[in-house]
Structure 1
Amino acid sequence: SFWIFFFIGCWALIGPQEASGPLGGELTVQCWYGRGYENYIKYWCRGTTWTSCLIVVTTGSEAIVKHDRVSIKDIHTFCTFIVTMKNLTEKDSGTYWCGIDKLGLDLMFSVKVNVLPAVPASPPPAPMRETTVHAASTESSFRWTAPEVAESNSTVHSSDPPAG
């Protein structure tokens, strides 16, 4: 704990160099600032350089501020602000900046945002079908339930149905 606060105390503003989230999903970026900046305006902006940065969302208090799919929350006690981007699109990839508005040059830290391909959902379980099998050597019959198997390149192993 001591080392974390010591490290943070050496920087006016730090954050992750990169943040990633899945297409259609969300990502969260946490930026840390030094003591004394609690009451300054914090912002999240987009642009390849800090001079071309367009502000996406800003906050001047600890209240959550939302703009479109982006929200920002400043937590003074921990000297951090958290940005959340939801419903990510491919166009959201790019360079963003954590920023603190102050007299003279703002404090800024760049974050490369990557939107990753959506993770395919797991296929639903195969539907069960009921099959009646008649044993040739006896008069009795039994029911055996087997899953439908979709055509694939994999090998399917099955055991013989139980004798009845």
Structure 2
Amino acid sequence: MWLQNLMLLSQASALLLCDKTIINAIVGGKFHVICKFSANQYRFSKKYWCLGKSKSTCEILMDTDGFTKATLRRRAQIIDAVYGGLHVLVSALQLEDTGIYWVGIDKIYTDIMVKIQVSVREEGVSIPEVWPEVSPVLTCWGQPVTLHCRSSQGTNVQYGWYREAHSANALLQNGPELPLRCSSLPLDGWLICTARNAVSEERSRPVSLRVLQPGQDGCAYALTSEGFESYDCWRTTQPPLTSSRSSVVVSHPALLTLTNGDGNLALHVNQTLNENPFLRSWSGVPVWYDIIRWFLFTAMIATIGLVHMHTGVKLSEKPKQNKTGACLSEANVHQLLCTYIILK
């Protein structure tokens, strides 16, 4: 008797062949099963997709007569293409979709059924990418900047922002975004974004935060990281930072230090400072203006010297013109001094 049942089962399986019987998928993914059957024999027979360990008690989820369970109407479909086969499509997979399914053809006495095993799991995260919402150059003038973090892979990903510390990382914010503002700037250090789920956890490349000028409103800070736009708050041509107690100190070709009354704050940059600090003070005046000013000052000194020399010669040769020559030289000197004061 058992041999007869086995033969019937083998014959039934041969009448319905599916391209896959084991499916491994991830949350949010999809699968497509194609089954071939005898179109001449079962062209008008109902086909269905059911869930359950036993084919005799499985629950029909959808069929070719138009029935689909309410929870699957927007993400599952069964299509009888006759000579093109039977197609079962399921998308937006969830962990709850894991189980044993059956593709069946309605038949008198015994349905033709093929077992399909589906396993849905979460996908591990990848190393998250970090980028600023706007150009990081705006940090030179204390403008707010938001850092974004995203993992290109993974399901049900949770994000967190931390400041790296020796003892333990300090949590700054939960979520993929970290807003940076003068009123709530963290301390100098490395900012890290983590992406994690039930499968794995990854950390982003660190972002260096340096507070150049603290303050609730008029602060200044710098962000540096691999892939970020390279910039230098000292060299920008936009409205610069001003401080009566600040000066630029070059201690290394790749290290910029801001010295103030509270201590030294170091900023690593990707540019080498080749400027003479005496030709460029931290006053907000462009370099070309300083050059023109010093050139005119030098020309003024030279002119004054020439005027005095010329006046001395005139006095020795023509005593009667002393007063006139003196007046002319004094007028020239006053005019040059006024010009210098205006430029200054």
Q: Same-fold call, TM > 0.5? A: yes
RMSD of aligned Cα (Å): 2.8
1:135 aligns to what?
273
Q: Which structure has the larger Rg over C-alpha atoms?
A: 2
1:25 aligns to what?
29
Normalising by structure 2, we get a TM-score of 0.33
**1:67 positional shift:** 2.8
Match of 1:110 among 88, 96, 115: 115
Deviation string, structure 1 residues 102-133 (Cα, Å, up to 9, x no partner) = 11111000000111323536734645233223
Whole-angstrom distance in 1 between the partners of 2:81 and 2:131: 48
The worse-fitting range, judged by mean Cα deviation, of 42-51 and 110-119 is: 110-119
Matches within 5 A, 1:81-96: 81-96=86-101
3-state SS in 1 of match to 2:83: helix
Match of 2:52 among 40, 47, 50: 47
Q: If each structure's strand is expressed as a fraction of its own residues, which one has the higher value? A: 1
Q: Return 5+ residue gaps in structure 1 as ranges.
A: 1-9, 140-164
Question: Which amino acid in 2 is paired with 1:100?
Answer: I
Question: Which amino acid in 2 is paired with 1:43?
Answer: Y
**1:88 positional shift:** 1.0
Whole-angstrom distance in 2 between the partners of 1:67 and 1:11: 30
Checking the alignment, whether the CA contact within 8 Å between 1:45 and 1:53 is kept in structure 2 is yes
Change (3 A) 1:75 1:122: farther
1:7 aligns to what?
none
Pairs aligned (count): 127
Tell whether 2:59 aligns with 1:69.
Answer: no
Segments of 4+ moved more than 3 angstroms:
119-127
Deviation string, structure 1 residues 36-56 (Cα, Å, up to 9, x no partner) = 212111100000010121000
Normalising by structure 1, we get a TM-score of 0.66
Checking the alignment, whether the CA contact within 8 Å between 1:56 and 1:70 is kept in structure 2 is no
1:14 aligns to what?
17
Identity of paired residues, percent?
Answer: 27
Q: If each structure's helix is expressed as a fraction of its own residues, which one has the higher value? A: 2
